[in-house]
Amino acid sequence: MKSSFKLLILISVFFFTLTAKAKSDGFDEPYRPQFHFTPAENWMNDPNGLIYFEGEYHLFYQHNPNGKEWGFMHWGHAVSPDLVHWEHLPLAIYPDNESTDKEFATAFSGSAIVDRNNLLGKQQGELPTLLAFYTSKDNGQRIAYSTDKGRSWEKYEGNPVIAFDEEDDARDPKVFWHEDSQRYVMVLWRMPEGQKSNQGISIYSSENLTDWTHESHLAGFYECPDLVELPVNRRADDTRWVIFDGDGSYLIGDFDGKRFKPETPKMQGDFGKNFYATQTFNNLPDEQNRTIQLAWMRGGEYPDMAFNGQMTFPTELALKKYLEGIRLVRTPVKEIELLHEKGHSWENENLIPGLNKNLTRKIKGDCLHIKGTFDLKTVNSFGFVVRNSRKETGVEIRYDATKQVLSCMGQGVLLSPEDNKIQLEILIDRTSIELFGNDGKAVLSSCYTADPEAQQLILYNTGGELLVEQLEIYPLKSMYELD
Ligand code: FRU
């Protein structure tokens, strides 16, 4: 082979390796989460239209394409093969009002379903139509449809399917198929006759997706309702329905297709600073046998970034029986492991305070997945300090064993040890920390900003001995890393 040709090959291999390791353009800013979904630029709030269809997870979201503040809502759109790597697609749903400076008829939150039986009559060929139910601001509940796997959207000519009534504010339709009653169900936030005290979730049913019958109303909720059936202790023959409020709080009960009968009071779903507008995915394949929820991390800050907003990492929902009753538990989807770099693990390490045996001194990073089981022995408190450096104290994650409180960033939740042990799973990204205690019984989702250089992780205990029964820590790759 001629040496100049060899050189050319060598140079191309070198550049190929270089680009393959590189991150795609512009997604590596200091406050850009690396495994939480963010819009490429501008404002984002609620997740909308979450659905799995033809091998893709669709994530639509409330989006202002014109600025970093809320306003002029559209549905942004992204797809993923695995809930971890997201590809941005063009805007999906535009306001029903063509003018660019009016809030009237902008595209507010909603949900998506697959029109399996072609009830809207829009199907072309074999591929079923996707329908998005959205609120057109002050303009009723409406449908947009897509016959090409969500790549382009048309507005249904029979809109609105539920008319606007100015005495009766309503928004955020979540639609799903209810097997037992063989009907579609819509849960919709409403303030009937403008009475604040009566604002809550209205339940509608439909056989054809366009005529909706009002069935019942449950007061005491605000925005973004959701309603799902979940097995208790993983037993398919023992299920309950869970109704969600916009802030992720929930009630457990029974649902007959028309009416939700609560069996519990309202309970808080997340104890962190930044968790709002939850929604579960529709149409997950039966074999996945799981329910996945996403929320907007409302109130996060991203100084000098081109974007404003991030979603939580997707979590799996389940119900579990405890002495005090049935509770919702929430854990990150297992697909997080797709981003694992080579991990570190420890077993049966007895930590004596003062001896400063910071087990994790070798761990550095701003994207980490931590999983551990800690025997409380004689400890007063233990925890992690995240994003620490010589200059910065960092963010503290703490379990106070005397008060039985798990806390992070000034927010706390009571969590009793099980068998004198506390289990923690923690997702750390550049601007968010999600903390799951005792297999998702207590969850705190919060945003933070830290000095980009502060990357040290400290494990500490005070007052007595702590047995680290098991600890695994994985640095996480960026979803933007091409490999
Ligand atoms: C919740 C919410 C929804 C509404 C949307 C508008 O954050 O207020 O009720 O549809 O945001 O962006």
Architecture of domain 340-475: Sandwich (2.60)
pLDDT of residue 20: 38
CA of 219 to the centre of ligand 1 (A): 18
80, HSE (Cβ side, Cα atoms, 13 Å): 18
pLDDT of residue 18: 40
What does the DSSP assignment read for 182-249? TEEEEEEEEEGGG-GGG-EEEEEEESSSSS-EEEEEEES--S--EEEEEEETTEEEEEEEEEE-TTS-
CA of 70 to the centre of ligand 1 (A): 10
Looking at ligand 1, which residue's alpha carbon is closest to its atom 9? Answer: 223
Indicate yes or no: pTM above 0.75: yes
Instruction: Pick the closest to residue 135 from 164, 157, 158 (CA basis).
Output: 164
Q: What is the distance between the alpha carbons of residues 410 and 416, in angstroms, rounded to a whole number? A: 19
Instruction: Pick the closest to residue 121 from 213, 210, 212, 204 (CA basis).
Output: 210
Handedness of CA 155, 280, 431, 407 (dihedral sign): positive
DSSP state of 269: S
pLDDT of residue 1: 44
- Ligand 1 contacts CB of residue 45 (under 6 A): yes
Residue 452 zone, left/alpha/beta (φ > 0; ψ -120 to 50; rest): alpha
pLDDT of residue 9: 45
pLDDT of residue 98: 76
89-94-98 Cα angle (round to 5): 140
46 annotated active-site: yes
* CATH code linked to domain 36-334: 2.115.10.20
What would the two tokens of residue 479 be? 């979803």
CA of 151 to the centre of ligand 1 (A): 24
pLDDT of residue 213: 98
pLDDT of residue 469: 98
Domain ranges of the chain: 36-334, 340-475
- Ligand 1 contacts CB of residue 392 (under 6 A): no
Q: What is the distance between the alpha carbons of residues 389 and 454, in angstroms, rounded to a whole number? A: 5
- Ligand 1 contacts CB of residue 46 (under 6 A): yes
User: Please, what's the b/e burial string for 44-66 (b: 16 or more CB within 10 A of its CB; e: otherwise)?
Assistant: bbbbbbbbbbeebbbbbbbbbee
CA of 426 to the centre of ligand 1 (A): 28
Strand partners, 315: 293, 332
CB 11 within 8 A of CB 72: no
Looking at ligand 1, which residue's alpha carbon is closest to its atom 8? Answer: 223
What would the two tokens of residue 128 be? 């079923």
The pLDDT profile of the chain, 483 residues, written as one tens digit per residue, is 445 545 544 444 444 344 434 444 669 999 999 999 999 999 999 999 999 999 999 999 999 999 999 999 999 999 999 999 999 999 999 999 977 678 899 999 999 999 999 999 999 999 999 999 999 999 999 999 999 999 999 999 999 999 999 999 999 999 999 999 999 999 999 999 999 999 999 999 999 999 999 999 999 999 999 999 999 999 999 999 999 999 999 999 999 999 999 999 999 999 999 999 999 999 999 999 999 999 999 999 999 999 999 999 999 999 999 999 999 999 999 999 999 999 999 999 999 987 667 899 999 999 999 999 999 999 999 999 999 999 999 999 999 999 999 999 999 999 999 999 999 999 999 999 999 999 999 999 999 999 999 999 999 999 999 999 999 999 999 999 976
- Ligand 1 contacts CB of residue 129 (under 6 A): no
pLDDT of residue 5: 46
